[in-house]
């Protein structure tokens, strides 16, 4: 009588990601997702272990997508060009997929994080620094700084932290990339 809905962990994660962008990651609940599939809540629990598990899968999907975009953006570019391209991956992804971007910030336990696309993404960030002359350990410091700036900026902008003031954020964004490029070319000695 009832046709099977064809649930799988992957489909749940994909639809959950879609939903996150529409209603915010914190509103992606097992109940709401079940409603979206026109299925009873309990049915989800054959496919995901828990609500937490569901959210983790959405986070991993988002990390994967960002890592894909990052490696594509950086391929064939170097120096400031590459830097700007990577920066824009963060910003654009967060704008196009705010719910997924939130999801990507979910705290993962260490093993899950180590197995995630986050690692690949970190390698991409490091690759950008090949265009600048930095040796270890400064290279690591710089990777961390870039991650901080991109993530921090996008978070604050999404949260409206910059919203009520001139000049506009696009201008700040370009100048931030200029500034980071200048900094990397002129990295202060320890």
Please give the residue ranges that form the binding site for DNA (CB under 7 A).
1-7, 29-32, 38-43, 45-47, 49-52
Select the binding partner of residue 2 from a second copy, DNA, none (C-beta < 5 to 8 A, by kind). Answer: DNA
For 76-104, b/e burial (b = at least 16 CB within 10 A) is: eeeebebbbbbbebbbebbeebbbbbbbb
- Residue 130 DSSP label: G
Select the binding partner of residue 71 from a second copy, DNA, none (C-beta < 5 to 8 A, by kind). Answer: none
For 162-173, b/e burial (b = at least 16 CB within 10 A) is: eeeeeeebeeeb
| Nearer residue to a second copy within complex by CB, 10 or 26 | 26
Q: Whats the size of the chain, residue-wise?
A: 190
Minimum Å distance from CB 161 to a second copy? 7
What is the C-alpha separation between 126 and 121, in angstroms, rounded? 9
| Nearer residue to DNA within complex by CB, 42 or 166 | 42
| Nearer residue to a second copy within complex by CB, 75 or 161 | 161
Count of helices and strands (H, E) across the chain: 10, 0
Select the binding partner of residue 133 from DNA, a second copy, none (C-beta < 5 to 8 A, by kind). Answer: none
Select the binding partner of residue 123 from DNA, a second copy, none (C-beta < 5 to 8 A, by kind). Answer: none
Residue corresponding to tokens 């196009």? 96
- Contact with a second copy (CB under 8 A): which of 6, 46, 135, 167? 167
- Interaction between residue 179 and a second copy (CB under 8 A): yes
Binding to a second copy (CB under 8 A): which residues in 94-123? 105, 107, 110, 113-114
């Amino acid at each position: 009588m009832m046709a099977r809905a064809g649930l799988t962990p992957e489909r749940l994660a994909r639809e959950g990601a879609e939903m996150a962008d529409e209603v915010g990651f914190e509103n992606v609940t097992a109940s709401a997702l079940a409603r979206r599939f026109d299925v009873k809540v309990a049915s989800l629990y054959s496919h995901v272990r828990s609500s937490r598990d569901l959210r983790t899968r959405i986070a991993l999907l988002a990390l994967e997508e960002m890592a894909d975009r990052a490696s594509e953006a950086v391929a064939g570019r170097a120096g400031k060009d590459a830097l700007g391209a990577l920066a824009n991956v963060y910003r654009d992804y967060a704008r196009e997929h705010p719910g997924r971007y939130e999801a990507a910030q979910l705290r993962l336990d260490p093993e899950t994080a180590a197995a995630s696309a986050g690692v690949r993404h970190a390698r991409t960030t490091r690759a950008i620094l090949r265009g600048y002359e930095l040796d270890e350990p400064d290279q690591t410091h710089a990777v961390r700084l870039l991650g901080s700036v991109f993530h921090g900026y996008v978070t604050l902008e999404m949260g409206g932290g910059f919203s009520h003031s001139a000049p506009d954020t696009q201008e700040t964004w370009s100048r931030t990339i200029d500034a980071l490029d200048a900094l990397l070319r002129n990295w202060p000695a320890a």
